Amino acid sequence: MSNGHTISTPVESNVVTVSLYKDFLALIKIGIVNSNMITTFTGLFLAFQFTGKNFLHNIDLLVYALLGSGLIIAGSAALNNLIDRDIDPVMTRTKSRPTVTGRFKAPAVLTLALTFIVVGEVLLFSASIAAGLWGLAGIFSYVVLYSMWSKRRHVANTVVGSVSGAIPPLIGWAAVEPALGAGALALFLIMFVWQPPHFYALAMRRTDEYRAANIPMLPVVKGFARTKKSMLVWVLFLFPLPFLLTELGVGFLVLASALNIGWLYLALKGFKAKDDIKWATGMFIYSLNYMTILFVAMIIFSIFI
């Protein structure tokens, strides 16, 4: 007999807990946090190698930089979700975000995001003033310049958003060497130039959704043919950039150039592709592998300089 009260079983409690955890990870965009932590670490590690400072004697800088970066990126991502909660229901990719489903209410998201950002910035400033300032630049460029200003207004929104995505390696570098240097500039440029062809490939796959949400992504406004040309140009821009890191040796330059040639070949194939979405998916997957291999290679080759 039921007395009218719902009895929560252990299984149901576990499901709710798991679901809440997954929603939290979706709120802070854990995939973006993780990928940016890799580039932050690369900047930090290369700065140690290039300046000759002892990595093990400065573990505190590692903790401040990585934890601080992770928190400000997570906080900024949560703010992005908060800002986009009116358009996210239109898109299949974003309609299950916790800011859309109501799992996390707006005041709670805002409080969480600002807390993460403040604590993250305290940690970054503990590493160096420059790291803290670059952190603020990253937050401003992502939340204000991209999310609040360009995303819904300008076809160049992807390029504007690429600025914030290129800042994490600068934060890592500045934690060790506040003055930065040619190596830091190289990392920034590689990250900046990599992002448009990466996100244009994603936008091609989601063109109908972006159109429904009235977001002026390049494939929506200019069409696939123009998008393919833009992707080709951005891939070509990548070719000279590894040569800003000649300290990493010939092996790295050969590997980076081979990755660039592979991406160029794939980009050129797009002009004869019979299935544009299938081709865009291949470009997207290649871009992910490209970035992972390149940045891991930087760390490995830097050990031997």
pLDDT tens for each residue of 20-51: 888 889 888 999 999 999 999 999 999 999 99
Residue with tokens 């401040």: 64
Please report the pLDDT score of residue 265 as a whole number: 97
Sign of torsion over alpha carbons 107, 69, 128, 166: negative
Q: How far is Cα 91 from Cα 68, in angstroms, rounded to an integer?
A: 31
Residue percentage of the chain with pLDDT more than 70: 93
Q: How far is Cα 37 from Cα 44, in angstroms, rounded to an integer?
A: 10
DSSP for 27-43, please give it.
HTTHHHHHHHHHHHHHH
3-state DSSP call for residue 266? helix
Kindly report, residue by residue over 171-212, the tens digit of the pLDDT.
999 999 999 989 999 999 999 999 999 999 999 999 999 999
User: Could you tell me which of 75, 208, 221, 72 has the C-alpha nearest to residue 152?
Assistant: 221
Residue 152: CB atoms within 10 Å = 15
Q: How far is Cα 148 from Cα 76, in angstroms, rounded to an integer?
A: 12
Q: Could you tell me the residue ranges of all domains in the chain?
A: 13-180, 182-305
3-state DSSP call for residue 249? coil
**pTM score of the predicted model:** 0.90
Region 4-8: what's the mean pLDDT? Answer: 45
17 pLDDT band (50/70/90 cuts)?
A: low
Q: How far is Cα 95 from Cα 60, in angstroms, rounded to an integer?
A: 40
Structure tokens at 101: 């489903």
Q: In CATH, what is the architecture of 13-180? A: Orthogonal Bundle (1.10)
Q: Which amino acid is at 204?
A: M
| Cα-based distances in Å from 144 to 21, 94, 97, 189 | 28, 20, 21, 21
Give exposure, 182-191, as e/b (b: 16+ Cβ within 10 Å): ebbebbbbbb
Q: How far is Cα 42 from Cα 66, in angstroms, rounded to an integer?
A: 11
Angle at 290 between CA 284 and CA 293, to 5 degrees: 140
Kindly report, residue by residue over 140-158, the tens digit of the pLDDT.
999 999 999 999 999 999 9
Structural contact between residues 164 and 141, judged by C-beta atoms closer than 8 angstroms: yes
